Amino acid sequence: MSPHLLSVDSLNRDSVNHLLRVAAQMEPIAQRRQVTRVLEGAVLGNLFFEASTRTRVSFHTAFCRLGGSVCDTTGFTFSSMAKGESLYDTSRVMSGYCDAIVMRHPDQGSVAEFAAATHVPVINGGDGPGEHPSQALLDIYTIDKEFQRLGKSFGGAHILLTGDLKYGRTVHSLIKLLSLYDPLRITLVSPPGLEMPTALIDLVTSRGHQVEVRDHLATDFSDLDVVYTTRIQKERFTEEMNENFQGISDDFIVNKVFLDQRCSESTIVMHPLPRDSRPGANDLNVDLNGDPRLAIFRQTDNGIAMRMAIFATLLHVDSLIEKDLRSVRWFVPSQTGTLDR
């Protein structure tokens, strides 16, 4: 594996399988039953120049659960970039302070530019509409776990990617990662103007996968294994798109009616989150909350184990985990609240 994780392009089936195996080893730690100190003394720089809850906090938590500590900055306002500092200078400075860096930035390619100026591992936490490799890895980890639970396998699986496929960086990374697997059926459905970039469709097709583009969700999906839906990334729209965008029509909504009438009992529903719950946004519907097919919170939980696996692999402590486990002495009461998993 390359010293950084900037794009899923640096991964192959072997490195993905390795990360899946290490993530599975991390489960007892992620589930707070065991602890490890393999990253004791290491410091993570967590630099987020775009809005984030899950990615920022789960990278932070994952590093802490490996025994390391974290320093972070959020937004441009409180960083020296607000004073005109370049990515190069920020990178050189941060590498003197930290042992690994996670960065999210609104410009495509910016995280790679940042990584070119440092000698510590850099993970792309999302670069504009570009890529989000750790999300794609946790998505693959989730699909793999869900398929194992349901007695299914990747080969020949039917996966639907829907929502904003043009600006959604999670689906850009995910479709490339899926293309490393045995031939799949991938269906793409997006509102007009938000289609998956042609170059990505061509790449996946050239690797032997069957890609079908449909105009709406109102068709038969009874053989569907996964529906992966995404938020409309309005913050990345051009002015013209903002003026012309009509909103999401009923034809694109993933809700209980869609799942009950078009899909099957074993279709799982994923979303990188956040889902836009404001009235009229028509993102993934809350009427699926409590439905066992809704895998979104299992997916977010899986993010901790996968991000721990990424850090452990990039910092070369992945082989030490097994020997460095202790049981926790504390516990979180599991009977509080209404957690559906």
CB of 284 to ligand NCD, least distance (A): 11
Cα–Cα distance list, 151 to 143, 147, 154 (Å) = 12, 6, 10
CB of 274 to ligand NCD, least distance (A): 6
**Residue 60 makes contact with ligand NCD by CB under 6 A:** no
Distance between CA 128 and CA 113 in Å, rounded? 13
C-beta of 55 vs 313, nearer to ligand NCD? 55
236 in contact with ligand NCD (CB under 6 A): no
Element holding 101 (H helix, E strand): strand 100-105
Whether residue 274 is preceded by a cis peptide bond, meaning omega within 30 degrees of 0, is yes
3-class DSSP assignment, residue 85: coil
Q: How far is the CB of 138 from ligand NCD (least distance, A)?
A: 9
Q: How far apart are CA 252 and CA 163, in angstroms?
A: 7
CB of 67 to ligand NCD, least distance (A): 25
Give every strand in the sheet of 210-214, ordered side by side. Answer: 210-214, 185-189, 158-162, 226-229, 268-270
Count Cβ atoms within 10 A of the Cβ of residue 76 and give its class: 0-12 exposed, 13-18 middle, 19 or more buried. middle
Spatial neighbors of 156 by CB under 8 A, at least 6 apart, are 182, 183, 184, 185
Q: How far is the CB of 25 from ligand NCD (least distance, A)?
A: 23
SS3 at position 164:
coil
Residue 54 C-beta: closest distance to ligand NCD, Å: 5
Interior angle at CA 139, CA 74 and CA 313, nearest 5: 70
User: Binder to ligand NCD among 46, 90, 110, 135 (CB under 6 A)?
Assistant: 135
Site for ligand NCD in 87-116 (CB under 6 A): none
The smaller minimum CB distance to ligand NCD, of residues 36 and 124, is found at 124
Q: How many chain residues are in contact with ligand NCD, going by CB under 6 A?
A: 12
Kindly compute the dihedral angle of the four CA atoms of residues 54, 55, 59, 61, in this order, to the nearest 10 degrees.
Answer: -10
Per CB under 6 A, which of residues 205..234 are in contact with ligand NCD?
230-231, 233
Q: Which residue in the set 4, 60, 65, 132 belongs to the binding site for ligand NCD (CB under 6 A)?
A: 132
CB atoms within 10 A of CB 6: 23
Q: How far apart are CA 237 and CA 233, in angstroms?
A: 7
Nearest to 150 by CA among 224, 221, 225, 262: 225
Q: Does 302 bind ligand NCD (CB under 6 A)?
A: no
Q: What's the min distance (Å) between Cβ of 132 and ligand NCD?
A: 5
Give the nearest distance from C-beta 30 to ligand NCD in angstroms: 17
Considering only residues 126, 130, 133, 191, which one is a binding residue for ligand NCD as defined by CB under 6 A?
126
* Cα-to-chain-centroid distance, residue 326: 29
- Contact residue for ligand NCD among 22, 272, 285, 302 (CB under 6 A): 272
* From candidates 54, 152, 256, 262, binder to ligand NCD by CB under 6 A: 54
Which of 87/284 has CB closer to ligand NCD? 284
CB of 280 to ligand NCD, least distance (A): 17
Candidate residues 11, 161, 273, 305; the one interacting with ligand NCD per rule CB under 6 A: 273
Indicate the residue among 191 and 272 with the shorter CB distance to ligand NCD: 272
Are 134 and 307 in contact by the 8 Å Cβ rule? The answer is: yes
By rule CB under 6 A, what string of x and - marks binding of each residue 170-189 to ligand NCD? x-------------------
Please give the residue ranges that form the binding site for ligand NCD (CB under 6 A): 54-55, 126, 132, 135, 169-170, 230-231, 233, 272-273
